[in-house]
Every structure is written in C-alpha cells, then in structure tokens.
C-alpha cells in the first residue's frame, strides 16, 4: 500500500476531497503508482503529482483511473468538475495577487506613495518660478504672475478650468497652505468631471443622431433568435456548427452528455463513434491501439482524423450531425494496414450509467 504525503494546507476543500478520493480508490485496488501508470498510460511522475495535490489531473486521466480501479466514472468525473472549478478560482486569485504585487513594485521603483493616484508633481509646469518649454514654432504663452506661496494649481493658473467649473465667488481671505491645496484639487476634479460630461454627450450624439430614426431602424429589424448559450447546460460551451473542429472534452460535450451509437474494430484497436445529444456533434475515438493507428470520421461535409498516442488512445475533433447518429460511421486503419469500421450498437437501457469519457 502506498504511503501518501500530507496534502498541502493551502488546497481548496473541493480539491482536497477529490485528491483523497483518488487515494482511496488506489488503496482499495492495491495498485502501486507504477502499476497505475502502466494501466492508465499516464507517467508515474504525473500520478505522484496528481495524488499529492500538486497538480489537477485531466479528465481523461480520471476516467482511466476509474477503469483501472473498477470505480464508476460518472461519480468520479462529477467530483473532478467541482475540483476543477475550485482550482480555476485559486489560479485567478493568485493572478490578481501577483498583478497587485507587480503594480506595488512598479510604484515603489518610480517613487510613488501607495495612496497616490498620480506621480509627484515635479514637472516644470507645476514648479514655482519655472516656465514650460515652448514647442518649436508655437506661440509663447503669456506669463502668470507668481503671487501665492503655494505650488498647487488653481483657477487663476488655468482660466479654462474656471470657465468649465462656473463663475467663482469673490476671493476669500488668505488661508493656510493645506486649504489652498485642497481647493486646487477640487478645481481639478471639477474640471475632469466637466470634461467627462462633454465626452459623454458627444458620444451620445454620435451614436444616437436621432431617436426617431433609431426607433424606426429597431422596428424594421427582425427579432433576434434566442442564443443557444442561454439554454445549454452548465459547462457546455458550443452547439451545432459552432463546435466543428473543436475538442469535445474542452467544450463540455463529452462525459454524461455523450453516447456511443456505433462501435467496431480495426485489428486489436477499438473504433467508436461518440455522439453528443446536447451539442449535436459526433467524433471518433480509438483505444487499445498501437501508436500510429488512426481513426477517421466524416459527417455533415466535415471529416476529422485522430492518431493513437503512446497510451494507445486518441479522439478526433467534433463534426456536426443533423440526422440519425447511428448512421454515422468511423473507420480505423492500423500501422500494419488492417482496416475496420464501426457498426450500430443496441441503445443503452434506461437508467444504465453512461460513459464519462469523450
């Protein structure tokens, strides 16, 4: 019996439960990690990472483990889906944290304070007594008398801001530097708000030149058909023609959503047609094959071919199926030249567990 290492403390509870279930299945089967690698086609190093919680196994590896240990693939893939969502959430949180650390390091390198939205005002434009350099050929700007002891800009420095913010009251009595700085920031915020309002109005006029015309155009357009994504089950990402050429496992069309309407042999290799009733697609699967054996499927004007890998299994991308899936056939050819095609199989009885692989 293998002796497992303690799972990392930072693992999500869903991932921890899934890894523990994999360990229990391996313990009950009496398989060593090396024997498990031979039975599933995944390396010993990969299984050590999967079983120790350092890496989430792919769904195909989980199904292969279920077959090697005699477990129900459907139950195990359900736990895998929960663990995969939790793993994705953890990766997203880690990406956000790393991005925040990078931003903080960049601010520190530039000499910004943590609570500053802009870099320190060290340019000549906002430095007392300094004049901005004029561009070649430009008309020089009139100088502004320096009558205040603060470096913060105000309406007197930028009359266009004062015009956007509205008429200003009479000049109050001299105030402390802190109050004058706050007043300058208020004027800057007001000017920014006025600019945003002007841009918003321009955008509205640009994209809505006339309400009557827009209403007539909307009335003349036919009602849009409901999107297929609104009615697809959770995890399913495409349907019909939108799935052509895509991976059935990545698009969520396999597992509990797929059946095997036909099966055959090419030499020792098993050739199957997998059909998804949700995605309305089919793909060919080859298993128990030698490396280099291949399976090909054609339907709906599209064809796809897969070549067996070192683990003796592979499956093709999807093709769209609009008719009876039992009439879709897949054919295989071994490296020795032996050929064979799939044939319809009896329908799965009601209540029987479905296959969980693509």
Q: What is the pLDDT of residues 206-246, one digit of tens each?
A: 555 554 454 444 445 544 444 444 578 888 989 988 899 99
Q: What is the largest CA-CA distance in the chain?
A: 100
Relative to beta strand 294-299, strand 319-320 is: unpaired
DSSP assignment of 79-133, as one string? HHHHHHHHHHHHHHHHHHHHHHHHHHHHHHHHT--TT-SS----SGGGSTT--PP
Going by C-beta distance under 8 Å and a sequence separation of 6 or more, which residues neighbour residue 229?
A: 237
Residue 42 dihedral angles phi and psi, to the nearest 5°: -105, 145
The predicted structure's pLDDT at residue 200: 66
Listed residue (93, 120, 116, 117) closest to 12, CA to CA: 93
Q: What is the CA radius of gyration of the chain?
A: 33
The predicted structure's pLDDT at residue 100: 65
Going by C-beta distance under 8 Å and a sequence separation of 6 or more, which residues neighbour residue 97?
A: none
Handedness of CA 117, 119, 124, 127 (dihedral sign): positive
Which H/E stretch holds residue 182?
A: helix 177-207
The predicted structure's pLDDT at residue 299: 86
The predicted structure's pLDDT at residue 45: 92
Beta bridge partners of 271: 264, 286
pLDDT digits (tens, 9 = 90+) for 32-48: 999 999 989 999 999 99
The predicted structure's pLDDT at residue 103: 67
The predicted structure's pLDDT at residue 318: 92
Give the chain's residues under pLDDT 70: 1-3, 90-100, 102-103, 111-188, 190-230, 347-357
The predicted structure's pLDDT at residue 133: 52
* DSSP state letter for 232: S
- What are the E-state strand segments in the chain? 258-266, 269-276, 281-287, 294-299, 302-307, 314-315, 319-320, 330-333, 339-341, 343-344
Q: In whole angstroms, what is the distance from residue 180 CA to residue 175 CA?
A: 7
Q: In whole angstroms, what is the distance from residue 119 CA to residue 206 CA?
A: 34
Q: In whole angstroms, what is the distance from residue 202 CA to residue 191 CA?
A: 17
Length of the chain: 358
- Whether this prediction's pTM lies above 0.75 is answered by no
- Tokens 């002796």, located at residue: 3
């Amino acid at each position: 019996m293998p002796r497992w290492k303690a799972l990392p403390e930072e693992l999500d509870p869903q991932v921890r439960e899934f890894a523990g279930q994999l360990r229990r299945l391996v313990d009950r089967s009496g398989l060593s990690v090396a024997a498990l690698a031979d039975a599933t086609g995944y390396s010993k190093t990969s299984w050590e990472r999967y079983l120790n919680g350092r890496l989430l196994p792919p769904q195909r590896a989980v199904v292969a483990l279920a077959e090697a240990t005699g477990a129900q693939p459907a139950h195990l893939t359900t736990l895998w889906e929960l663990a995969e969502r939790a793993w994705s959430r953890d990766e997203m949180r880690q990406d956000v944290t790393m991005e925040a650390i990078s931003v903080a390091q960049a601010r520190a390198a530039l000499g910004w304070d943590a609570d500053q939205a802009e870099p320190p005002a060290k340019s000549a434009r906002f430095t007392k007594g300094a004049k901005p350099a004029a561009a070649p050929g430009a008309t020089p700007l009139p100088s502004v008398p320096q009558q205040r002891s603060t470096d913060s800009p105000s309406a007197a420095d930028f009359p266009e801001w004062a015009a956007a913010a509205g008429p200003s009251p009479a000049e109050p009595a001299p105030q402390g530097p802190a109050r004058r700085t706050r007043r300058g920031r208020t004027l800057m915020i007001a000017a920014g708000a006025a600019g945003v309002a002007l841009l918003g109005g321009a955008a509205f006029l640009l994209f809505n030149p006339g309400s009557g015309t827009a209403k007539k155009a909307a009335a003349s357009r036919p009602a849009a058909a409901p999107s297929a994504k609104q009615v697809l089950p959770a995890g399913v990402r495409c349907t019909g023609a939108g799935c052509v050429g895509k991976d059935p496992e990545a698009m969520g069309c396999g597992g509990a959503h797929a059946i095997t309407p036909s099966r055959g042999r090419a030499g020792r290799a098993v050739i199957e047609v997998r059909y998804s009733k949700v995605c309305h697609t089919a793909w060919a699967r080859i298993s128990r094959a030698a490396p280099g054996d291949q399976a090909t499927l054609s339907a709906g004007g599209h064809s796809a071919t897969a070549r067996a890998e070192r683990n003796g299994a592979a499956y093709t991308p999807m093709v769209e199926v609009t008719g009876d899936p039992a009439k879709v056939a897949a054919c295989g050819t071994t490296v020795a030249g032996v050929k064979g095609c799939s044939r319809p199989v009896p329908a799965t009885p009601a209540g029987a567990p479905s296959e969980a692989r693509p």
